[in-house]
Amino acid sequence: MTEQKPRDPGGLGGQSRRDFLRGSGVAAATAVLTGQAAGVLDEAQAAEESTKVLSGTVEITLKVNGQERSCEVEPRSTLLDTLRNRLDVTGPKRVCDRGSCGACSAIVDGELVYSCTTLAVSCQGKTIETLESFETGEGSVPHAFHQNDGLMCGYCTPGFVTACKAYLDKHPNATEEEIRKGIDGNICRCGTYVGVLAAAKAAAQAKKGA
Amino acid sequence: MAEWPASPSVIGKRIPRLDGLLKASGKAKYPSDVHPKGLLFGAMLYSPHAHAKVKSIDTKTAEKLPGVKAVLVIAGPGTTLRYHGDDIAAVAAETEEQARDAIRAIKIEYDVLPHVVTEAQSMAEGAPEVFKGGNVKKGRGQTKGKPEDAMASAAATIEATYTVPMITHVCLETHGLTVGLEGEKKATAWASTQNVYGIAGDLAQALELDRGDVTVYTEFMGGGFGSKFNADVWGTTAAKLSKMAGGRPVKMFLDREQEHCAAGNRPSATAHIKMGADREGKIVSVIAEGHSTGGVGNGTNMILPYVYRGVPHYSVGQANALTNRGGSRAMRAPNHPQSCILTEAAVDDLAEKLGMDPLEFRLKNLDPGSPMTPIYQAEIPIGAELIGWREKRKPRGKTGTGPIRTGLGMALHTWGGGGNPGKQVSCTIHPDGSVDIKTATQDIGTGARTILAMIAAEILGLQPTEINSLIGNSSYPPGQPSGGSTTTPTMAPPCYDAVTKARDALFKKVASAFNNARPEDLSLKQGQLWAGGEPVASWKEACRKLGTSPISVTGEFVDGLSSTGVGGCQFAEVSVDLETGEVKVKKIVAIQDSGLILDLLTWESQVYGGVIMGLNYGLFEEVVMDPTSGRMLNPDMEWYKLAGASDIPEIVVRAYSPPDEKGRQVIGVGEPPTISTAAAIGNAVSNAIGVRVTEWPMSPRNVLNALATASREGRA
């Protein structure tokens, strides 16, 4: 494994775009470039290509939930995998791993992001919040989810709680229709939407009252 | 015979889940979240082909890659791979990125074989065989009376082919587990499973250990819906990789693509149905011929006619067409949603043909021999009122003139959901007043943990939050796998038994300390011990009299606390854009009976959730296979469509719960409310647009196809 020091701490860890694409594996690159439906791969060629490229590791520091946390990542490591696999911040969940379902939602510099499609190296110097840092007392979004049973198996819940808080922070006077649109980037399989919407409304109400 | 308390203080109330805040704050640790010391990351290599033979497999390069600790070949040379997603090999490495690289570095030569991935391909003359012995397996056929004669004498008949596609479970936490070994003789696993007790046996077998040497934890799990009862190839493979890596724990969870392709599905169902009724609107005959595919597994066992089992003459034939797709697994009410759609579509079409209101037609055709009939008779008017059937419903096709049409539809369902003897719950009352309830069952999102605490709290006069409800551990007394809506009705009785016996033992031990009371004079309520109508001590003070010896009792199943068999009906209101084929569900009404409801809050969530899963089935979901490459085209969460918040209509849920209903005791509710939603939506769409959409889901393509076909045939 070759060591590669980041040339620009805010950039892609000194890797060129081409290296990044190669390092991330031909399979992933092809899927991005040609779409899912055409993703019939020549496995042998993919294997051959990817073994020639050795990805480097970079030491990065991320500010997660108010703490500076250092770890080694590869330039291709997603924020989600870095949080979960390296920093033991497991609130955000890996579900679709392709930016479709919102279970991995985190707040980076105040903006809601899908951490499964955000590179960890691009988050250096930014403020990363996951739901573990949210208030949980009365009037909080997690409390409202609990009281309104806006969860069942609970695996989508971190994403919904995060999306809901991020949306309400920016839109304190949102109507129910607006809240629905605000959390439309998230998917639940147990079908907890009725409780989720009740929770979101309760949290919005509490916010106004506060 | 045991009885639930007549005027409960906890049971039947709306109690938030005990673990709800842990889940809503991201602090609940799921099996995919745990990070035991020395953790390695696993990855699976699976077949890109629908049908192929492994000619050669070379793992040498993979083994040498940085961080790789173990590589295991599952499908060696000569092995036949039978579907896109079939297991080939697995890797454990220091990082997940390294594990995935190693997977890509395994070199395989395939002998690609011809495949069949659609029912048509499977059933074609001379089709390639999925397994030796032919693709089409005759299923259970049934004949009652003389269906052909009865059909010939019917006043009105319909004949159509109705189709429901295969869907997948889409568990948000994919299948998998984290497993490690300590020394040669002990294994610990954190498994995303519906069967924490049983999965310990699977892993023990794979590791050649005794069951007791393996401890499995399932504190939380991210959805199963019937697909997570076994350790599966990837689970036992992770255990073997751990062994190869000197016992270091291995985390192995499927990626989304393999989850879709290999971790289970609800089989498709197609039936050609003839149905006839007499002049009075009584169904006299049903003749159905069906086929389905569950990939390399079982197809749908179609129950035709569904619910309306009093039809005097019927014949049903069905076949399972094996295809090169992953095998089916139980999925929330196996066989029922398909059977409901096929039957209820035909029933609706026949009512239309007779010019009858489909609601009246259904009431006329309820099975006089079924105990569910009085329940349907009571539920249907309640649902009709809530959806506005009388005011809003217009006959099919007479719904206006503009491009946007609205319509109403309905459907009925039934399910068992009873309790079984054989499982145990222990109750320990400690001298400090803490109470532990233990059993090796799990909470798959239903609220099982909270339900057990509520039962204990009811009996001990405490609050549910004062009970330690300990589940999700295979070393606890044997508990129920979560399937068939049986968890609550199976676990509630032994819980009641354990806590009641523990309470009685407490009374016996401490009675003399309270003015020499007799045990039978004592009772518990509002956190107090009462003797002869007076509170004499707080719960904690009473327990302190135990000295140093806790009370520990193991409870068994007792009769009189749970039963089986429910009926329900659902109504849907939809609007359809005739130009785009887009369907919007405006409102759903679900009337559901399920005996004694323990927690009304989580009960409602289950019914809402069932309806929403049914809405997905009715509007969005289908596995799309490419007949040419044999691959699944939408193994993701972008093109495999599921509802988001904006797709959720107004949903009205009512428990059908008259006083005597409670006398039917506890019955599970996980499955029934998902059965009839998609059927009701399809019927509402047909009512709105004036023609039957015979193919589910009610996607723009299927709706426009139905309109185009009708237009070509001069029907619309």
Name the packing angle between helices B677-689 and B600-619 (round to 10°).
50
**Structural domain ending residue among the three candidates B236, B253, B270:** B253
For residue B287, tell me if it sits in a domain.
no
Other CB atoms within 10 Å distance of the CB of residue A38:
12
- φ/ψ of B495, rounded to 5, equals -65, -50
The mean per-residue pLDDT over the stretch B536-564 comes to 97
For residue B651, list chain A residues with Cβ-Cβ distance below 8 A.
194
- Dig out the tokens for A76 from the structure: 């291709």
User: How far apart (Å, rounded) are the C-alpha atoms in residues B262 and B660?
Assistant: 45
Do the strands B80-81 and B265-266 form a parallel or antiparallel pair, or are they unpaired?
Answer: unpaired
The mean per-residue pLDDT over the stretch B568-586 comes to 98
Partner A contacted by B185 (CB < 8 A): no
In a shared domain, residues B401 and B432: no
- pLDDT at residue A129 is higher than 70: yes
- pLDDT at residue B351 is higher than 90: yes
Q: Is A63 helix (H, G, I), strand (E, B) or coil?
A: strand
With an 8 Å Cβ cutoff, are A149 and B604 in contact?
A: yes
User: How far apart (Å, rounded) are the C-alpha atoms in residues B635 and A167?
Assistant: 30
In a shared domain, residues B107 and B229: yes
pLDDT of residue A55: 58
- pLDDT at residue A186 is higher than 50: yes
For residue B330, tell me if it sits in a domain.
no
pLDDT of residue A39: 39
Partner B contacted by A75 (CB < 8 A): no
In a shared domain, residues B581 and B620: yes
Other CB atoms within 10 Å distance of the CB of residue B132:
5
B588: nearest Cα among B427, B435, B386, B336: B386
Predicted confidence (pLDDT) per residue in B663-703, tens digit: 789 999 999 999 999 999 999 999 999 999 999 999 999 99
The mean per-residue pLDDT over the stretch B245-258 comes to 98
In a shared domain, residues B403 and B442: no
User: How far apart (Å, rounded) are the C-alpha atoms in residues B267 and B319?
Assistant: 12
- φ/ψ of A54, rounded to 5, equals -105, 125
HEC assignment per residue over B190-245: EECCCCHHHHHHHHHHHHCCCHHHEEEECCCCCCCCCCCCCCHHHHHHHHHHHHHC
Question: Which of A44-48, B137-141, B510-514 has the highest mean predicted lDDT (pLDDT)?
Answer: B510-514
Q: Where are the alpha helices (DSSP H) in B545-667?
A: 600-619, 659-662
Residue A13 pLDDT class (50, 70, 90 cuts): very low
For residue B589, tell me if it sits in a domain.
yes
Exposed, middle or buried, B516 (CB in 10 Å: 0-12/13-18/19+)?
Answer: exposed
The phi-psi region of residue B292 (left if phi > 0; otherwise alpha if psi is between -120 and 50; otherwise beta) is beta
In a shared domain, residues B373 and B398: yes
- Residues of the domain holding B640: 342-417+565-712
Predicted confidence (pLDDT) per residue in B419-428, tens digit: 999 999 999 9
Residue B1 pLDDT class (50, 70, 90 cuts): confident
Least confident of A36-45, B74-83, B85-94, B457-466: A36-45
In a shared domain, residues B77 and B192: yes
The proportion of chain B whose per-residue pLDDT surpasses 70, expressed as a percent, equals: 100
pLDDT of residue B715: 77
In a shared domain, residues B97 and B226: yes
pLDDT of residue A7: 37
In a shared domain, residues B448 and B354: no
Task: Give which of A74, A155, A184, A196 to mutate to test B binding, by max B Cβ within 10 Å.
Answer: A155
Contact B304, B286 (CB under 8 A): yes
Assign residue B62 the CATH number of its domain: 3.90.1170.50
Nearest CA distance, A125 vs chain B (angstrom): 24
User: How far apart (Å, rounded) are the C-alpha atoms in residues B91 and B67?
Assistant: 10
For residue B398, tell me if it sits in a domain.
yes
The mean per-residue pLDDT over the stretch B73-97 comes to 98
The mean per-residue pLDDT over the stretch B238-256 comes to 98
Least confident of A47-56, A154-163, B127-136: A47-56
Query: Residue B48, preceding bond cis, omega within 30 degrees?
Result: no
Predicted confidence (pLDDT) per residue in B287-309, tens digit: 999 999 999 999 999 999 999 99
The better pLDDT of the pair B401, A153 is held by: A153
pLDDT of residue B221: 98
Partner A contacted by B101 (CB < 8 A): yes
- pLDDT at residue A21 is higher than 90: no
Its sign, for the CA torsion B182, B183, B186, B187, is positive
For residue B621, tell me if it sits in a domain.
yes
Q: Where are the alpha helices (DSSP H) in B388-486?
A: 389-392, 448-460
Nearest CA distance, B421 vs chain A (angstrom): 26
**Structural domain ending residue among the three candidates B509, B536, B555:** B555
In a shared domain, residues B575 and B496: no
With an 8 Å Cβ cutoff, are B638 and A51 in contact?
A: no
For residue B441, tell me if it sits in a domain.
yes
Beta partners for B163?
B270, B695
In a shared domain, residues B470 and B402: no
With an 8 Å Cβ cutoff, are A142 and B48 in contact?
A: no
For residue B8, tell me if it sits in a domain.
no
- pLDDT at residue B483 is higher than 90: yes
| Residue-by-residue DSSP string for A116-167 | GGSBGGGGTTSEEE-GGGS--STTSHHHHHHHTT--SS-SSHHHHHHHHHHH
**Structural domain ending residue among the three candidates B233, B253, B273:** B253
Number of folded domains that form chain B? 3
Q: How does the average pLDDT of chain B come out, rounded?
A: 97
With an 8 Å Cβ cutoff, are B25 and A77 in contact?
A: no
pLDDT of residue A46: 52
Predicted confidence (pLDDT) per residue in A155-168, tens digit: 999 999 999 999 99
- pLDDT at residue A16 is higher than 50: no
Name the packing angle between helices A193-209 and B600-619 (round to 10°).
120
In a shared domain, residues B611 and B583: yes
pLDDT of residue A210: 64
- From the list B21, B255, B447, which residue is nearest A142 (CB)? B21
In a shared domain, residues B353 and B428: no
Residue A2 pLDDT class (50, 70, 90 cuts): very low
Give Cα separations from B712 to A111, B346, B715 (angstroms).
52, 22, 8
Structural domains in chain A, CATH included, are 76-129 (3.10.20.30), 134-209 (1.10.150.120)
Assign residue B395 the CATH number of its domain: 3.30.365.10
Helix (H) or strand (E) holding A204: helix A193-209
User: How far apart (Å, rounded) are the C-alpha atoms in residues B702 and B585?
Assistant: 16
Residues 111-150 of A with CB under 8 A from B: 130-132, 134, 136, 141-143, 145-147, 149-150
pLDDT of residue B716: 64
pLDDT of residue B565: 94
Q: Name residue B399's amino acid.
A: T
For residue B544, tell me if it sits in a domain.
yes
- Dig out the tokens for B387 from the structure: 């959806």
